[in-house]
Structures are given as C-alpha cells and as structure tokens.
Amino acid sequence: MGRHIIGAAADLPPGKNKILTVEGRSVGVFNVNGTYYALKNSCPHQGAPLCKGRVTGMTLPSEPGQYVYGREGEILRCPWHGWEFDIASGKSIFDPHKCLVKTYEVAVEAEAEESPSVETYEVKVEEAKIVVYI
C-alpha cells in the first residue's frame, strides 16, 4: 500500500472535497465534519464520476407519514442517475449490502519540517497533511 500526501489539512475544511489522481486512479477526498474520507471517483452503477456529485443529506427512518431530513453533508449523490452513497462507508443508501463504492484509508499526519541547520534540528513548522493510502 502506497502512502500519498495529497495536501495540507487546512486546505480542505469541513464540507469541502477535492478530486485528484493517485497512482493512476481518480479519487475524491472529502472532509465530513472534520473527518477525512476517500472514495473511488467511479459510480458502481454505470461508472459516472461519482465524486463530482452533490454532497447532501437524506431522509431518515422515522414514524410512518413523517419525513425527517438529516445527515446533511454525509451523503454523496451521483451526478448521472442520483444514486446516493454514505461518504464514510461508501455504501449505497438503498442497497447497502450489495452496492458500494471503493473507499481508501485516509489519515491526517503531522509532517515535521526541519530547519536547514544540521546542528539544531529545530522543528520550524509542523503542519498536518492529508495522507491517502492506496
């Protein structure tokens, strides 16, 4: 499994996502309420660029006749035919047992930047980076 630094965590605030190519694969990286997730940018239905879809919420299970909307920012809707996926798990909302998008491991890691002076090894900047493992 390869470790790929894809950018500074500060550049991808909650609610934002970006699509990039890692090891020849198109991957969408999402910040959902401060947690980072990575999904393959390909819908299991007909291969649409899924990560270009809208990030939304969903109707939650509730009493008959009631419609409760929630989980805003946690659901990704395919731009072609509207299939919806849970960004955290990659599972389809309507058929979670059979239909899912491939997910990749994401970590936020502190990269220490050392000063050029060999004697001091002073850590100048410590900035959190988003790392995707593919």
What is the full DSSP assignment across 36-47? EEEEESS-TTT-
Q: Confirm or reject binding of residue 30 to ligand FES (CB under 6 A).
A: no
Of 3, 25, 54, 81, which lies in the binding site for ligand FES, with binding defined by CB under 6 A?
81
- Sequence-ordered list of residues with C-beta below 8 angstroms from that of 68, at least 6 positions apart, any chain: 59, 60, 62
Q: Across-strand partners of 130?
A: 7, 108
Q: Confirm or reject binding of residue 55 to ligand FES (CB under 6 A).
A: no
CA distance 24 to 62: 42
Q: Confirm or reject binding of residue 48 to ligand FES (CB under 6 A).
A: yes
Of 7, 19, 52, 80, which lies in the binding site for ligand FES, with binding defined by CB under 6 A?
80
CA distance 8 to 61: 37
Is the Cβ of residue 28 or residue 130 nearer to ligand FES in the bound state?
28
Count of residues interacting with ligand FES (CB under 6 A): 8
Q: Which of 100, 81, 80 is nearest to 90 (CA)?
A: 100
- Smallest distance from ligand FES to CB 99, Å: 10
Contact residues: ligand FES, CB under 6 A: 43, 45-46, 48, 78, 80-81, 83
